[in-house]
Structure 1
Amino acid sequence: MDAKTGFVTQIGMEYGEAFEIADDLGFDYVELMMDSATERQHLDPDAVRASADDCGLDLAVHLPFALDIGSPFEHVRGGAIREVQAAVETASAFGATKGVLHASSSAWKPAWDAEIIGSNVVRSVREIDEFADELGFEICVENIPDGWFTIHDFDRIFEETDASMTLDTGHARIDGLDSGGTASFVGRHGDRISHFHLNDTRRAKDEHLPFGSGTIDFREIFAALPDGWNGTLSLEVFTLDYGYIETSKAYLDTLL
């Protein structure tokens, strides 16, 4: 495996400090969350790029979380797509080449058929992916648990779009896959999985623990990847204490 490693910034992290610590800890990149203070309108692309360059880092982004690209309402869906595209443009301007996308909907489940929402999600992913491709930017669709479009629905993303996948290990566990089940999924679809959110858990909850402190068998999951896999591995730890990021990095390096 020739993977690159990074971590996802959290609400309250200042990106310049995150970049400096990532450099000190030997990460290859930072995945900048484009929400809150680092939403696109709050960012100066030239300043972000200069800060990353000073630290010798590549960049990825987590595109905005709650945009409803699967909405059954035409103008809501259209606006969500345009906002994602605007975020992609900003990310591309500061040098990011990969972005995590939530392919989901907040549509009211008693009122809407799953096929309608699923078709909307697929069409929106295709439109966003085609837009991003023109910028040389890779869309990586994340599996979202307990929603309209979970990891069990991803065959449709693979079959009907050209987008890559972000596999969130904790989300897969919430949706019923143990470590062996996730490894089996990786073995079937490793050629389309470009990015991971390394979300460690002790149970079927979205815990985002320091990497290695949960019970997910990442060694088994990594072993299922194709020979020569060269994607990206983001530690997604819900903390503002960089000590936990450092501990997580050390354990990840041991596994790799």
Structure 2
Amino acid sequence: MSEGERRDDADPRTVRRGYVTQTHTGAVPWDDALRAASRIGFDFAELYLDGATERTRIDPNAVGSLAAEADLDLLVHLPFVDLEIGSPRDPVREGSLSEQRACIEVASEMGAEKAVLHAGTSARPPEWELDEIAPHLLDSVRVLDRFAADRDVEICVENLPGVPFTVHHLDRVFAETEASATFDTGHARVDGLDAEEMADFLDAHGDRVSHVHVNDAREDADEHVPTGSGTTDFETALAPLREGWTGTVSVEVYTFDFDYLELSAEKLDEFL
């Protein structure tokens, strides 16, 4: 949570900028992704620990060494598609927690400082109500947060679009766990927040929001178009980040073309 603390003597570079890699698809090798981050001038890369860069398919020491050589910090995005840390079925939930622990171990080995976590589940109405599954999700967050903290990794729970935990549920994460948060602008937009409401959220919870995903869109959808090419008013939405906030911001762009990432970095700098 220290990264989200406000500072009175902050300078314009207290916010570190990076991007969410698309390495899980296999279209971009992880080493190319890190070198591109360095060339573009990002401060860090957020490595996806799934698909082609699933934890058993990469060498964490090699990742850490290249990051150090490229003068990059590292974050990771934990897997989520097939994991159920909120499942009401104990064996399913425990198996998912075991896998997430293993991923956190790998993140620690490579020197990653933060791990983005989806606190979600496919267990939903009519079979399962939020009041039934929320305790499982919150307990899983607490378990993983403690496990990660012991390994110098900060868990950052991301608001999800339309499913628990959305931006409207993060108050429970703040109240019932000690975990930090990842604020995803596109997901917040899907769940009804306009730019001013995003700014209000960041202003109110800047001490707990340690990481931000800048996810641009042309409409209220989870599009991940190049930053600045959508219609999200980032000048307004990100205003609280210009007021002494000291966290990390990733542009999350669904592209394999590094030119679009470079342009996204330039646009992000304008907004910050």
TM-score for both structures, normalised by structure 1: 0.97
- Which of 213, 218, 236 aligns to 2:229? It is 213
Answer yes or no: is 1:240 the counterpart of 2:256: yes
Answer yes or no: is 1:191 the counterpart of 2:203: no
- 8 Å contact from structure 2 (residues 15, 241) kept in 1: no
User: Per the alignment, in what secondary structure is the counterpart of residue 74 of structure 2?
Assistant: strand
Shift in Å at residue 108 of structure 1?
A: 4.2
The runs of at least 4 aligned residues of structure 1 exceeding 3 Å deviation read none
Determine the structure 1 residue equivalent to 2:120.
104
User: Per the alignment, in what secondary structure is the counterpart of residue 64 of structure 1?
Assistant: coil
Between the aligned partners of 1:234 and 1:226, the Cα distance in structure 2 is 15
- 8 Å contact from structure 1 (residues 117, 148) kept in 2: no
Determine the structure 2 residue equivalent to 1:4.
16
- Which of 12, 25, 30 aligns to 1:15? It is 30
Per-residue CA distance 1:37-77 (angstroms, 9 max, x = gap) = 11101111111111112211110000002211100100100
Per-residue CA distance 1:151-181 (angstroms, 9 max, x = gap) = 1011100000000000000000000001111
- 8 Å contact from structure 2 (residues 75, 112) kept in 1: yes
Determine the structure 2 residue equivalent to 1:49.
64
User: Per the alignment, in what secondary structure is the counterpart of residue 168 of structure 2?
Assistant: helix
User: Partner amino acid for 1:57?
Assistant: L
Per-residue CA distance 1:12-41 (angstroms, 9 max, x = gap) = 221111111111111111000001111101
- 8 Å contact from structure 2 (residues 180, 209) kept in 1: yes
- 8 Å contact from structure 1 (residues 190, 226) kept in 2: no
- 8 Å contact from structure 2 (residues 225, 254) kept in 1: yes
Between the aligned partners of 1:68 and 1:87, the Cα distance in structure 2 is 14
- 8 Å contact from structure 2 (residues 117, 156) kept in 1: yes
Determine the structure 1 residue equivalent to 2:8.
none
Name which of structure 1's ranges 21-30 and 222-231 shifts more when overlaid on structure 2. 222-231
Determine the structure 2 residue equivalent to 1:64.
79
Determine the structure 2 residue equivalent to 1:87.
103
- 8 Å contact from structure 2 (residues 142, 179) kept in 1: yes
- Which of 128, 140, 146 aligns to 2:156? It is 140
Aligned residues: 256
- Which of 90, 100, 112 aligns to 1:74? It is 90
Determine the structure 2 residue equivalent to 1:177.
193
Sequence identity, in percent?
Answer: 50
User: Per the alignment, in what secondary structure is the counterpart of residue 186 of structure 1?
Assistant: helix
- 8 Å contact from structure 1 (residues 191, 226) kept in 2: no
Determine the structure 2 residue equivalent to 1:165.
181
- 8 Å contact from structure 2 (residues 20, 251) kept in 1: yes
Between the aligned partners of 1:202 and 1:142, the Cα distance in structure 2 is 21
User: Partner amino acid for 2:63?
Assistant: V
- 8 Å contact from structure 1 (residues 69, 104) kept in 2: yes
Between the aligned partners of 1:32 and 1:233, the Cα distance in structure 2 is 14
Between the aligned partners of 1:48 and 1:148, the Cα distance in structure 2 is 32
Shift in Å at residue 226 of structure 1?
A: 7.5
- 8 Å contact from structure 1 (residues 164, 192) kept in 2: yes
Shift in Å at residue 227 of structure 1?
A: 3.3
- Which of 94, 118, 121 aligns to 2:137? It is 121
Between the aligned partners of 2:225 and 2:127, the Cα distance in structure 1 is 36
TM-score for both structures, normalised by structure 2: 0.92
